[in-house]
């Protein structure tokens, strides 16, 4: 037909697959692919999001898969003060930063020196490079790679004094299946994050939830990395540490750390995805320079 097929829940359970060709479809709650390939060969297929919830992809069955481009929405509420920063990642593959330019104002000129605090000037979006222990420049062509995190300031104008609510979209093939994200360690930056009390630089990685679903921190499978992760959070005014009871929402970027003087990995299991639909994108209002005091015991475990 020519009208949009609007689904609340949708389950695909057909070994021969389901092909959408030349029309439009949307899901507002849970999309489940038990078996077969859900292929969007043309037209649009959208997982919707608004101020109260988001559509999400349930754990995909062992013979289930996706093909073609899907639009994954993520509602971003209006700012409450200046300098609203977020860590984001993409739940789809085969797309670039230009995809997010459709909804966000992204300013790319990059001036690494002088920094204000830890942050380069002239830009409101950057990635983090663990080998150099520095934030680095991105541009329209930067790949939104699976599991890669980015730090962005949400703005409506050059004064960075407003941000109206909007819906961010990521367009591509949804990431599915178990995903292992490398967490690098470069010895030249000093000791490992968890062990070095004077130069916490080596082993810091800005990564992200690769799925169009919430993911429990308790289900992360660290190897040579800490089981806890850090995110930007408004109530705390800076970074907070998430532990086993917390959930990473879709599109959520976060910081992961090696636990020793060697690289590690962080694995996301397809079977562990959550259908939780109330996990907001965490963000923080920050200005630079600012002071954050962290107290920890010598081995970094608390």
| Alpha carbons 92 and 144: distance in angstroms, whole number | 8
Range 163-185 average pLDDT:
96
Query: Is residue 112 classed exposed, middle or buried when 0-12, 13-18 and 19+ CB atoms within 10 A define those classes?
Result: middle
* 207, 127 contact by CB (below 8 A): no
What are the structure tokens assigned to 209, written together?
Answer: 């939830």
pLDDT at 290: 40
* Res. 6 pLDDT band, cuts 50 70 90: very high
Closest CA to 195 of 290, 299, 297: 299
Confidence class for position 114, pLDDT limits 50, 70, 90: low
Residue bearing the bigger pLDDT, 267 or 78: 267
pTM: 0.87
Task: Give which of 302, 290, 89, 85 is closest to 206, Cα–Cα.
Answer: 89
Are the CB atoms for 255 and 133 separated by under 8 Å? no
CA angle, 242 as apex, 89 and 272 as ends, to 5°?
65
End-to-end C-alpha distance for the chain, whole angstroms: 58
How far, in whole angstroms, is CA 73 from its chain's centroid? Answer: 13
Q: How far apart are CA 246 and CA 282, in angstroms?
A: 12
Indicate the average pLDDT of the chain. Answer: 86
Residue 193's pLDDT is 62
What radius of gyration do the chain's Cα atoms show?
Answer: 19
Please give the Cα distance from 285 to 225 (Å, whole number): 28
Query: What confidence score (pLDDT) does residue 145 get?
Result: 95
Q: Is residue 261 predicted with pLDDT exceeding 90?
A: no
What span, in angstroms and rounded, lies between the C-alpha atoms of 85 and 297? 29
């Amino acid at each position: 037909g020519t009208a949009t097929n609007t689904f609340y829940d949708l389950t695909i359970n057909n070994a021969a697959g389901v092909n959408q060709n030349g029309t439009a479809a949307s899901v507002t709650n849970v999309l489940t692919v038990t078996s077969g390939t859900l292929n969007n060969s043309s037209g649009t297929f959208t997982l919707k999001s608004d101020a109260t919830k988001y559509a999400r992809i349930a754990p995909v069955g062992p013979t289930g898969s996706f093909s073609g481009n899907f639009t994954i929405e993520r509602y971003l509420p209006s700012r409450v003060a200046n300098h609203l920063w977020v860590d984001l990642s993409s739940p789809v593959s085969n797309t670039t930063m230009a995809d997010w330019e459709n909804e966000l104002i992204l300013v790319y000129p990059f001036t690494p020196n002088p920094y204000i605090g830890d942050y380069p000037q002239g830009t409101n979006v950057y990635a983090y490079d663990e080998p150099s222990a520095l934030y680095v420049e991105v541009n329209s062509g930067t790949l939104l790679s699976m599991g890669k995190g980015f730090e962005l300031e949400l703005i409506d104008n050059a004064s960075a004094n407003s941000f109206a609510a909007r819906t961010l979209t990521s367009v591509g093939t949804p990431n599915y299946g178990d995903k292992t994200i490398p967490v690098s360690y470069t010895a030249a930056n000093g000791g490992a994050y968890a062990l070095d009390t004077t130069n916490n630089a080596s082993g810091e990685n800005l990564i992200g939830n690769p799925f169009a679903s919430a993911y429990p921190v308790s289900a992360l499978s660290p190897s040579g990395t800490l089981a806890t992760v850090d995110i930007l959070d408004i109530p705390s005014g800076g970074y907070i540490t998430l532990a086993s009871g917390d959930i990473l929402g879709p599109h959520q970027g976060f910081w992961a750390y090696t636990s020793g003087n060697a690289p590690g990995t962080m694995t996301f299991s397809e079977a562990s995805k959550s259908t939780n639909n109330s996990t907001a994108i965490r963000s923080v209002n920050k200005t630079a320079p600012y002071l954050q005091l962290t107290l920890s015991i010598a081995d970094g475990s608390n």
